Amino acid sequence: MTGPESWNGLFDAGLQLERTSLSWRRTALSLAVGSLVSLRLLPVWLDGIVWIVPGMIGLIAASALWLTSRRRHRAFMAQVQGGREPRIDGAVALVLISAGVATAGILGLAATLSVTL
């Protein structure tokens, strides 16, 4: 016999959710660290106070990502503990993350082109 039934009750449905939550928190932490580094270095390297904006946006995004991952984890775990399959509509979060990544890429490209030209 394979699958969760063969584990004699050792399967924990919440562990996958925990790993996913932890990975999102690591992503938010990485974004926060990168944003703090950019706050420190970009204004010095590119000679302008306007270069703190990407770092501030990154810190706000990291905070939102951290809070969202925490809220979703709690909602998922409540569903698992209630004996239901965990499902939450994530289309809005996916669109916001995609838009943020695309915007960051375009801004990074614009900054690189403005410095090199």
How far apart, in whole angstroms, are the C-alpha atoms of residue 39 and residue 18?
31
pLDDT of residue 33: 93
Question: pLDDT below 50 — which residues of the chain?
Answer: 1, 7
pLDDT of residue 82: 82
Give how far Cα 23 sits from Cα of 19, 43, 70, Å: 6, 30, 11
pLDDT of residue 29: 92
How far apart, in whole angstroms, are the C-alpha atoms of residue 116 and residue 61?
27
pLDDT of residue 36: 92
How far apart, in whole angstroms, are the C-alpha atoms of residue 9 and residue 20?
22
